[in-house]
Chain A
């Protein structure tokens, strides 16, 4: 799995690619840690290449969301595929994240 963060002037852009199973989530957590405190900047996560996510991955996303909410910024998930959207539905995450 691949995870990249890009810090822009007004937002963070993260890209997730591949399968984010429990083991992969453990590995990329370090990479995504800066997003936990976005210092007021919005976070855009590009999920167009994300094929699979397990609960550990969801937990990381939730932590990012909690951090940005605290500083008043937004988290947007872009291009989430249907399977993963379904997972979001089952877990109720569908109503707490913004999707594009």
Chain B
């Protein structure tokens, strides 16, 4: 990204440089143009003055010619010239060939020069002031085209730095006999040329054709040292002249004290008399441009920095967004895994039992849900439950997972719904910081007898369907789990008729909403349940789900949808042989078991080793009863009833001792080493191992333990 900024900066710089160069060229050309015009106009101004002088001298020449034989008149003529001329004329005179007027002597130059108030005529020619050596005289005598001299200091005549205009005086034979001259001061020239200038620091110099300085601005306008330097440079042919587009002027660069500048002047061929030189500092010309360029550059830098920051901001926020997206996807992935784990926690649907058929379904509103259902069969009892955590999403699902595992672990050792519910409740209240609560229904169906024991903690009571009649199970309205830790939960009991269906649901069903926010409602549920033709639990759930989908149509699922159906179809045992033995609660009585078992197993033609196994199982069960149901060794009886229906043996051991549930006892751990093996637990282990099923019921003050073993599979 930095690279992009740098490239942008470089591009901007390139454009800016190009623009600068172009603008500079434009400015230069403007400068040249204005210099050209200025030089030209200055030249014209000067020409005005010089032309005046020239004309004046030319006019006076007529008079001089006419009075050539009057040498004394010459002075007057000169004085007339001076009087006529402007303030610039310092003096004028006529310088004659030596001895032209023999009466006047060798040197004769009558000269009139201006003083403050008058004009004074004097004869200035002498040995000391040998005017024949003067350039004006020699130029005039020669007949040069250039009639103006370069500036020189005239001590005698004009008494100042002058330039002289001299015309040759011609006699009748057109022979030069002298020169008529006018001396012009030079200081006006500087003033003229510097009157107007485009740039405050620029100035103009006037040089003679031979490169001598004729006029320069005052010291305040131009540094004399610089002036000298430029004059030198003008005369220095090694100084590189820049070629200009404009064919009239040329120029070169100079440097003064670190300050760069340019000098412009007209080409000689266009300025026959004098050289006008324009001097200006680059800073003045281009200064503003440079300043602007610098400003633009700083603005560009600043702008780029700001741009850079903005881009950086966007990039970071985009990256953050990307990271958030990645995190979100990871969360989604983890939620999917959690969903799968949750699904796997739900029990598979039982198929293989004849006396009960169960089907459950859970469709969470979000990836993981706060609903749960569970069931499993232990010791011929169906433990089932359904629940709903307040709230949705991951937190709810986690709490549900905990409740679920508590349901499983507490019901492993416990048949009684009260105790199971209480344990779950206590533990839920303990760790519950977020004050979530759980509506929960718990049921224990004793499959041999059809006795349903249940406890409802704030959950919608289930429906019981029998013979196309439906009714709601009467449930005491306990508080949901996780609210009050010392809540007393009561167990309720009903006898489930054969061929009955228990239907459990969460409020995700009754509160399912269509797009107008109408609820599915209990009425619709009841209607479907009462019109069921097939009580197969899978079909039941299917029908209800279909009806709900039809109602809801396209509206979004607002809550977890959970249902559980239990179809109870107990098979009667149909015993063909029943034998009973009654023992006293005395260990020594168990020997009677031996002959009793023998007689029964003989009647049913059971093979010897199986008979011995059965005898061992029954003995262990009975000994347990004697030990635990009659711990105080009061008088009591133990009844052993053996039934056979051709396929299975059922042994029912009944006693009227204290409530004792052998199925709640823990089996011995057979994996421990000899040193670690405990003495206890062997009896119940053997019963469980030797028998196919073990079932305990407490009924009317009696402990009823039922053991079954399938002898023949038909």
Which residues does A use to contact B, with CB under 8 Å?
19, 21-24, 26, 52, 54-56, 58-59, 62-63, 65-66, 69, 82-83, 86-87, 90-92, 96
Residues of chain B from 606 to 647 with CB closer than 8 A to chain A in the complex: 609, 612-613, 615-616, 619-620, 623
Given contacts A21-B619, A86-B609, A96-B673, 6 further A-B contacts (CB under 8 A): A21-B591, A22-B619, A55-B620, A55-B623, A91-B689, A96-B677
User: Distance (Å) between the CB of A39 and the closest chain B CB?
Assistant: 18
Q: Would you call A83 and B613 a contact (CB within 8 A)?
A: yes
> Are B683 and A55 touching (Cβ within 8 A)?
yes
Interface of B is mostly: helix
Contact call B623/A22, Cβ cutoff below 8 A: yes
29 A–B pairs (Cβ distance < 8 Å), ordered by A: A19-B594, A21-B590, A21-B591, A21-B594, A23-B587, A23-B588, A23-B591, A52-B616, A54-B623, A55-B620, A56-B623, A58-B682, A59-B682, A62-B674, A65-B674, A66-B677, A69-B674, A83-B612, A90-B670, A90-B685, A90-B689, A90-B690, A91-B668, A91-B686, A92-B669, A92-B677, A96-B673, A96-B674, A96-B677
Whether B245 is near chain A, meaning CB under 8 Å from some CB there, is no
Partner of A87, one of B588, B593, B616, B669: B616
Closest chain-A Cβ to B679's Cβ sits at a distance in Å of: 5
The answer on a CB contact under 8 Å between A92 and B616 is: no
Q: Provide the main secondary structure of the chain A interface.
A: helix
Closest Cβ–Cβ distance, residue B692 to chain A (whole Å): 14
Whether the Cβ atoms of A55 and B587 lie closer than 8 Å is no
B interface residues, how many (CB within 8 angstroms): 31
B671 on the A face (CB < 8 A)? yes
Nearest-CB distance from A83 to chain B (Å)? 5
Tell me how far the C-beta of A85 lies from the nearest C-beta in chain B, rounded to whole angstroms. Answer: 11
Q: A24 contacts which chain B residues (CB < 8 A)?
A: 591
Asked, given contacts A19-B594, A69-B675, A92-B671, whether A54 binds B619 with beta carbons under 8 Å apart, the answer is yes
Q: Which residues from chain B contact A58 at a C-beta distance below 8 Å? A: 682
Instruction: Tell me if B591 and A91 are in contact (CB < 8 A).
Output: no
Write out the residue numbers on chain B whose beta carbons fall within 8 Å of the beta carbon of A52.
612, 615-616
A65 to B671, CA, bound (A): 16
Provide the B654-695 mask, 1 if CB < 8 A to any CB of A, else 0. Answer: 000000000000001111111101010011011001100000
**Which 4 residue pairs are nearest across A and B when measured between Cβ atoms?**
A92-B670, A55-B682, A96-B674, A90-B689
Min CB gap A51→B, angstroms: 8
Give CA–CA (A73, B609) in the complex, Å.
33
Cα A55 to Cα B594 in complex, Å, equals 15
* Chain B neighbourhood of A87, CB < 8 A: 616, 686
- Knowing A22-B587, A23-B590, A62-B674, the reply to whether A82 touches B686 (Cβ < 8 A) is no
